[in-house]
Chains A and B, each alone.
Chain A
Amino acid sequence: MSGGALREPWHSLRRQREAASFGMWLFLASEALLFGGLILAFIATRWFHPAAFAAAGREADIVYGTANTLLLLTSSLTMAVGAQAARAELPRLAGRALGLTLALGLAFLCLKGLEWRADLAKGLWPGPGFALEQPAARIAFAFYWLLTGLHGLHLLGGLSAIAWLAGQAVLGRRPWRSPAFEAAALYWHLIDVVWMFLYPLLYLDGRAA
């Protein structure tokens, strides 16, 4: 972890930067299939029980869901600014943008926590005392907990990575030009995109009519 951003086995920073983003894209493809598999399972099950899933969708808390969507979208913007600023070696701007991203991400998690608490209070955990009576609504909520939980974990991972990278950069242990910032930004956008799929599936279902 020397001052230079260049590492083995690379000969040029340009190539190394290319590799970081290429590697991250591959990882994102893999992540996309992880969520894709789960979302597909969700859609397949929903296809058999549309009414129960719609009922479940109506129970999900749309206020929290929408607020969180806005938070996450904004954070993607600040993250993009942060990564570009880091690359252009504008430490002040980069630091602020990354800080804002962290704050927005944390806000998302807090809201999510509150929402989960409200859900539990409403008896939406598919165990004994579950609030909805259609059996398949339990499955819908099983997916709800699993998908939002997994998404939350990814978000937490993203936050830690950004915090760590930014911390290192601020302390001068990592050059702002390090390709890691762009990679982190890509990952953050993925988290955002995944949420863009989860939001309509989990919150908007059953609300149209």
Chain B
Amino acid sequence: MSGIAFWPPAASEVAAGVDAIVIAMLAISGAIVLLVAALLLGFAIRYRRGSAARRGELPELIQKEVEVGWTAATAFLAMFLFAWASIAVLGGQRGDPDALEIHILARQWMWKARHPDGAREIDALHLPRGEPVRLVMRSEDVIHSFYVPSFRLKQDVLPGRMTQLSLKPTQTGEFPLFCAEYCGTLHSRMLGKVVVMEPEDYARWRAAQPQADDLAREGRALFESVGCSGCHAPASRVHAPELRGLYGRQVALADGSVRRADEAYLRDSILQPRRDIAAGYEPVMPPFAGILGEGELQAILAYLMSMPARGASPGEPRNMSSEP
């Protein structure tokens, strides 16, 4: 990419839709600007002092009608634009459950990505063309924002909470990745590139990555070393819930409500266990906020989410990806 940036390539599924709305808005506002300019200049010239144009009062009634007329017209136009734009986002919202899930960890001032089987990269993100992808993003420190202009997509990445971005790349190539939320000294250096490849190439690329320690495996080790297993292992003397197969299940809480054990729930249960106490247990679990680093937490989460329900072989992590 060099030369002059004018109109970025449209390389994701939503990009074409966004461009269509932009072009329509450009046309409409262009027309409005022309109208206003023509009226301003036209009147200014025709009714300049001393010109021969006809003058005099307008009947009050006409004034009111004109006024109501353009109020209604702009209100209508505004509502039309709102409706159109909103339908576009509502349409784009459908997340695909089988999407390729990639974890993004942002920190001052770099992007870390982790692919399903543990392949990791920094300040770069490889994606297969034509496949739905879900980016699950967190920040270790301040707010960042994941921005790929060619995808027409952007999502803030927050500390202490995860945000998601669903997308489907439609064009192979290299596209710049920016951090769009101001995050301190080197905000303008928090750059990266997104490389979209044909699915086969992507699979090959992923396989060729140095075999990083499988994240869930790493999580399992941590589960032991940090002390979780002291309570949560089946043999433990502490009365603590069984965590195998917990992910995705409905959990009854002590306050009578029921929640789905999604990733956010697991996360909260580890960082701030007092927030939602599982029914039938004493709130003895210590909070791990400040003890576990974000990376460790992600590993443990990956481990918990990889544990199959009762019956399957215990403790052997399963890959969480939709990949074969």
| Residue in chain A with minimal CB distance to B254 | A51
Chain B 262-295, CB-CB to A under 8 Å as 1, else 0, gives: 0000000001101100000000001101100000
A contact residues around B275 at 8 Å (CB): 49, 51-52, 134, 136
Q: Is A135 an interface residue (CB 8 A)?
A: yes
A36 to B83 CA separation, bound complex (whole angstroms): 34
Chain B 183-217, CB-CB to A under 8 Å as 1, else 0, gives: 00000000000000000000000000000000000
| Residue in chain B with minimal CB distance to A132 | B274
A136 to B287 CA separation, bound complex (whole angstroms): 11
| Residue in chain A with minimal CB distance to B283 | A51
B contact residues around A134 at 8 Å (CB): 272, 274-275, 287
Q: Is A8 an interface residue (CB 8 A)?
A: no
Chain A 17-55, CB-CB to B under 8 Å as 1, else 0, gives: 000000000000000000000000000000001011000
A83 to chain B, nearest CB (A): 48
A116 to chain B, nearest CB (A): 26
| Residue in chain A with minimal CB distance to B287 | A135
A134 to B275 CA separation, bound complex (whole angstroms): 8
A199 to B29 CA separation, bound complex (whole angstroms): 53
A contact residues around B290 at 8 Å (CB): 135
A205 to chain B, nearest CB (A): 15
A138 to chain B, nearest CB (A): 11
A136 to chain B, nearest CB (A): 7
A51 to B272 CA separation, bound complex (whole angstroms): 11
A52 to B289 CA separation, bound complex (whole angstroms): 15
A contact residues around B271 at 8 Å (CB): 135
A164 to chain B, nearest CB (A): 46
Chain B 288-317, CB-CB to A under 8 Å as 1, else 0, gives: 011000000000000000000000000000
CB contacts under 8 Å to B, within A130-161, are: 133-136
A contact residues around B286 at 8 Å (CB): 133
CB contacts under 8 Å to B, within A77-129, are: none
A contact residues around B289 at 8 Å (CB): 135
Which one of B272, B274, B287, B289 has the highest number of Cβ atoms from chain A below 10 Å of its Cβ? B274
B contact residues around A49 at 8 Å (CB): 272, 275
| Residue in chain B with minimal CB distance to A55 | B274
A49 to B273 CA separation, bound complex (whole angstroms): 11
A52 to B275 CA separation, bound complex (whole angstroms): 8
Chain A 157-169, CB-CB to B under 8 Å as 1, else 0, gives: 0000000000000
A5 to B310 CA separation, bound complex (whole angstroms): 85
Residues of A at under 8 Å CB distance from B? 49, 51-52, 133-136
Known: A52-B274, A135-B271, A135-B290. 17 other contacts (CB 8 A): A49-B272, A49-B275, A51-B274, A51-B275, A52-B275, A133-B274, A133-B286, A133-B287, A134-B272, A134-B274, A134-B275, A134-B287, A135-B272, A135-B287, A135-B289, A136-B272, A136-B275
Would you give 8 A-B contacts (Cβ < 8 Å), ordered by A? Answer: A49-B272, A52-B274, A52-B275, A133-B287, A134-B275, A134-B287, A135-B271, A135-B289
